[in-house]
Structure 1
Amino acid sequence: MNNVGGLDRVARIAVGVLLLVLTLLGVIGVWGWIGVVPLATGLLRSCPLYKLVGINTCPLK
């Protein structure tokens, strides 16, 4: 079920890509690999944490 939409999705993808690029360039440490999480949730349009707390930013039902 999709629960990530619109601006939320764009922000997740942008933050995820930024963290991964900075990690690959050596600007930030290994913790930057956490960027995989927002990137994946943005691309898949589904966030397990949102599901647990009942948040839905996707306008589609």
Structure 2
Amino acid sequence: MTTNVGTVDRGVRLVLGVALIAAALFSGLTIFDGAVMKYGAILVGVVLAVTGLMRTCPAYSIFGIRTCKV
């Protein structure tokens, strides 16, 4: 797979991913009381973190987007 996620995009994805996972598991906010919101936020957080770590986003590939330098 080719790299299509740049440095800034990667950092944002990692921070948001970890923040979503932490908020869903440890924040105690009422929005995460329901299973759908809690596990949905965890799933989105994991996807963001994994795409940030791998520097490849399948959605970017489909739409031909690149945020990294060639």
Instruction: Give TM-score, length-normalised by structure 2.
Output: 0.78
Return the letter of the residue paired with 1:43.
Answer: L
Stretches of 4+ moved more than 3 A in 1?
none
Q: Which has the larger radius of gyration?
A: 2
Gaps of 5+ in 1: none
Over the residues paired in the alignment, what is the CA RMSD in angstroms?
Answer: 1.2
Identity %: 42
Structure with bigger helix share is 2
1:28-61 CA distances to partner (integer Å, 9 max, x unpaired)? 32221121011100010000000000001111x3
Instruction: Give TM-score, length-normalised by structure 1.
Output: 0.88
